[in-house]
Structure 1
Amino acid sequence: MLPLYYGLLSQLGHYNDNDVLAPNNISTAFLATIFYPTKQAPEGKPKPYLNPETAAFYESSYNYTPGVLASLTSNIQEDAPFLRQGDLRGIASFPTLLYGPGGAGPPTEGSTILLSELASYGYTVVGLDHPFEQPFLKFPNGTKVFGVDFDEDSVDIVGGIYNTRLVDNAAFLQQFPDLVRKLDAPFNVDHFGLLGYSFGGAATLGTTLEEEKKFHLGAALNIDGPLWGRVTGNSSDVDLHKPVLLLGEEQLIPPAWSTFSSWQTGPYFRKILINGSLHHDFSDDTFWKTVEPSVDLSVGRIDGLRQVNITNTIVRAFFDHTLLGREEELLYQPSVEWPELTYFYKNGSMVAN
């Protein structure tokens, strides 16, 4: 594992005149947070793990003690040099991973543990945040964007948000080569893996289905997310023809997952559930519950640090296997080391222990 990693914020312009949450339905930018490895050692005191304003927002909205999230630090560095291919002896050029955070928060910052872990092993990971949907975002130019209240039970509103996710994901994939040239960065612009948490997981599958012919999208991972849009159909039209992993909380097998699963013909498919987990255990909330256990979040009985270890290991194993061609037995069958995991074939039957 490479010991250090870096987060970079980039404000990308994109005109969308069909954004259901934006003023006058027009949005003009979205936020990309890029994690990548570096060999530069950090200097001075450790930096805050969260933007102080983001930390304050979630301390208030989740009823944490003021300052408890703001006190957390990490070894993420700003303006660190890129890790060039020559620094990775014997390691192929890692694909870029595109990440979608949960709907209505937390934003990409709330999955820093997973994304920085992937970067520490060599991947470039880009998290996309969509203004007005997330409760709070701060752009690199200092602009603060607060989310708007919306009816989460409205099919029209939620469908519009989903479409915005797909539009922004496609716009990013289109703009990424120019951004890489501008940064003079060693990021892979020809090969991608996609992953997302919650509603971001839904958009991951949708983007893979809609954009595979335009971009080299090599694998898709939905982390405890629903299915939406064309992906919910019941025909071969929903076949991604790619490796797919549905990773979820204990007992989560919604009907749409089963229908979608039955049509997949890619070289790898599994549903893996983590016993003892609930929805928020798939974001950094599962670590936050160890910091102040009295806070009542939608988290399960599983130990937060154990959940972090399991999620990080499975996600990295999936992309190492499907994008780098490495053998990963963990993806196929249970083991004594991971008794919390329950595996299912695409037809819904459980993988035998």
Structure 2
Amino acid sequence: MADVVTAKRGKALRRGAAIGALVSASVLAAAGCGPEGSQGAGGSGGPGVHSPAATGRKAPMALPAPTGRYPVGTVSRHLVDRQRRDPWVAERPHRELMVSVRYPAQAGAGRYPRAPQLLPDEAAGFDRMNSFSEFVHPGKVAWGATRTYAHEGAPVVRHRGRLPVVLYSPGGGDPRSFGSTLCDELASRGYVVVTVDHTYEAPAVRFPDGRVARSVMPQEAARAQKARRMPELLKKLAAVRVADTRFVLDRLATPGAGSALPDGLRRAVDPDAVGMFGQSAGGFTAAQTMHDDRRIKAAVNMDGVMGYTQRDDDPSNPSTVGTDGVDRPLLLMGKEGDTHRTMPSWGAAWAHSTGWHRDLTLRGGEHAGYTDAQALIPQVARQLGLPAKDVGAMIGTVAPERAIGAQRAYVTAFFDRWLRGRDSGLLDGPSVRRPEVRFVP
């Protein structure tokens, strides 16, 4: 999630994208450890929360429709890792995950209901714990009213050949569905996309039997902060995320009820064409998992610091993806100011990587703009009367439609090139059609 530390608080910390973003903003605030005694998602205020014109209306918000040739279908799967106790809640004997699968569907998918972005319990958890609480109070936004463009249970498209697979890991403290814009886009272009909730880190995860696993990160962050052991917590977060992802990879090929994919879809995918992407901590997770597991053929890191510190100008506690680099394609996509020349963890991975790699900057972009916030926050701002400077602090100053279009274009081009062998040339250099994207040499 975005690390919203504004100039109003006088902080010189980089507003980047460490795996520690979740403990440096929303979670620390919820734990009572935020900067200058700030209150978290359950607090009662603070400077710059919203303008006096705020109305408090909770109207539904809309995500942009995907542009690919296929309608999108979706199913959710409950996965249980019986070889691993839950690392966050000791009394849970097994690690349980919820994943959602997006896929290209047959014509007529519109007969099936569009999936909500968040279930009610998940929306309530996100309302309490997100990095926008400095600007938007809890209860002001109908987070659970948004529908994705994925149709629940729609039949898989009939196709020639096998479909490539892409995994998505969300930002720290975000739900798996907060990347729905890009996930729906990739599915509409013929990819099977598996999104992963990292249980007890995400604000709330609802299981099919009605249980809701709520985040324990505020307590974990408070303990780590008090003991001055934050790097250890960040290392554990990264290790848990990578283990979750590798377990999901195992379950892509598993038959029956324990599979991450329904039988018809499992037989349709290409197990040798698997990529991964994510935002913030999810971007680090994608790069680190590719380093650790050769089943990942290509990865996109969207503004995620690749080290175990809360500040990327602190080079201590580096990750192995930084010290070793990777030998497969890696795309770095940063907000304004975040490049391999300015961020030590990116610079280390860049210097040590022998595989194809590119570094793109979204001019005028902000950290959370690589999530569904890019589409939703302008609608929130209109409802609540937020000033432009607050919107800019959350998602940047680039026009949202330009930002979304650029992310769709470059992420799709990357996976098309490395998972399908279809090279559009978009990644070879700057494009006059995409002036908001800068290639960093």
TM-score (norm 2): 0.70
Query: Relative to structure 1, is the Cα distance of residues 26 and 298 closer, same or farther in structure 2, using a 3 angstrom cutoff?
Result: farther
Q: Return the alpha-carbon distance in structure 2 between the equivalents of residues 44 and 302 of structure 1.
A: 35
1:58 aligns with 2:126: yes
Q: Return the alpha-carbon distance in structure 2 between the equivalents of residues 129 and 96 of structure 1.
A: 17
Which structure 1 segments of 5+ residues have no match? 87-91, 345-349
The question of whether the paired residues in 1 share the 8 Å contact of 2:333 and 2:359 is answered with yes
- Once superposed, what is the RMSD of the aligned Cα atoms? 2.3
Aligned to 2:162: 93
The question of whether the paired residues in 1 share the 8 Å contact of 2:99 and 2:260 is answered with no
The question of whether the paired residues in 2 share the 8 Å contact of 1:279 and 1:298 is answered with yes
Query: Relative to structure 1, is the Cα distance of residues 226 and 18 closer, same or farther in structure 2, using a 3 angstrom cutoff?
Result: farther
1:177 corresponds, among 208, 228, 253, to: 253
Residues 165-216 of structure 1: per-residue CA shift (max 9 Å, x gap):
111111111121112675232222332111111111111111111111xx3x
Q: Return the alpha-carbon distance in structure 2 between the equivalents of residues 167 and 54 of structure 1.
A: 23
Query: Relative to structure 1, is the Cα distance of residues 45 and 11 closer, same or farther in structure 2, using a 3 angstrom cutoff?
Result: closer
The question of whether the paired residues in 2 share the 8 Å contact of 1:100 and 1:203 is answered with yes
Q: Identity over the aligned pairs, expressed in percent?
A: 26
The question of whether the paired residues in 1 share the 8 Å contact of 2:101 and 2:193 is answered with yes
1:277 corresponds, among 365, 371, 379, to: 365
Q: Return the alpha-carbon distance in structure 2 between the equivalents of residues 34 and 41 of structure 1.
A: 15
The question of whether the paired residues in 1 share the 8 Å contact of 2:200 and 2:215 is answered with yes
The question of whether the paired residues in 2 share the 8 Å contact of 1:37 and 1:83 is answered with yes
1:163 aligns with 2:253: no
1:329 aligns with 2:425: yes
Q: 1:25 Cα deviation (Å)?
A: 7.8
Query: Relative to structure 1, is the Cα distance of residues 249 and 84 closer, same or farther in structure 2, using a 3 angstrom cutoff?
Result: same
Q: 1:140 Cα deviation (Å)?
A: 2.9
Q: 1:131 Cα deviation (Å)?
A: 0.7
2:144 corresponds, among 60, 66, 70, to: 70
Structure 2 counterparts to residues 59-138 of structure 1, below 5 A: 59-61=127-129, 62=133, 63=136, 66=140, 68-86=142-160, 92-105=161-174, 107-138=175-206
Aligned to 2:322: 232
Q: Return the alpha-carbon distance in structure 1 between the equivalents of residues 84 and 297 of structure 2.
A: 30
- The one-letter code of the counterpart of 1:275 is R
Aligned to 1:23: 90
2:338 corresponds, among 243, 252, 256, to: 252
Aligned length: 331
Structure 1 SS opposite 2:396: coil
Q: Return the alpha-carbon distance in structure 2 between the equivalents of residues 112 and 38 of structure 1.
A: 16
Q: Return the alpha-carbon distance in structure 2 between the equivalents of residues 118 and 104 of structure 1.
A: 23
Q: Return the alpha-carbon distance in structure 2 between the equivalents of residues 203 and 73 of structure 1.
A: 27
Larger displacement relative to structure 2 (248-257 or 44-53): 44-53
Q: Return the alpha-carbon distance in structure 1 between the equivalents of residues 252 and 274 of structure 2.
A: 11
Q: 1:19 Cα deviation (Å)?
A: 5.0
Q: Return the alpha-carbon distance in structure 1 between the equivalents of residues 187 and 211 of structure 2.
A: 27
The question of whether the paired residues in 2 share the 8 Å contact of 1:19 and 1:160 is answered with no
Query: Relative to structure 1, is the Cα distance of residues 27 and 46 closer, same or farther in structure 2, using a 3 angstrom cutoff?
Result: closer
Residues 207-258 of structure 1: per-residue CA shift (max 9 Å, x gap):
111111xx3x22111111111321121xxxx242111101111110311111
Larger displacement relative to structure 2 (245-254 or 177-186): 177-186
1:221 aligns with 2:288: no
2:413 corresponds, among 306, 317, 322, to: 317
The question of whether the paired residues in 2 share the 8 Å contact of 1:97 and 1:193 is answered with yes
1:200 aligns with 2:296: no
Q: 1:123 Cα deviation (Å)?
A: 0.1
Structure 1 SS opposite 2:358: strand
Q: Return the alpha-carbon distance in structure 2 between the equivalents of residues 122 and 200 of structure 1.
A: 22
The question of whether the paired residues in 2 share the 8 Å contact of 1:194 and 1:220 is answered with yes
Q: Return the alpha-carbon distance in structure 2 between the equivalents of residues 164 and 255 of structure 1.
A: 23
Query: Relative to structure 1, is the Cα distance of residues 284 and 157 closer, same or farther in structure 2, using a 3 angstrom cutoff?
Result: same
Query: Relative to structure 1, is the Cα distance of residues 300 and 164 closer, same or farther in structure 2, using a 3 angstrom cutoff?
Result: same
Q: 1:27 Cα deviation (Å)?
A: 4.5
Whose RCO is larger (CA < 8 A, sep 6+)?
A: 2
The question of whether the paired residues in 2 share the 8 Å contact of 1:5 and 1:77 is answered with yes
Q: 1:54 Cα deviation (Å)?
A: 2.8
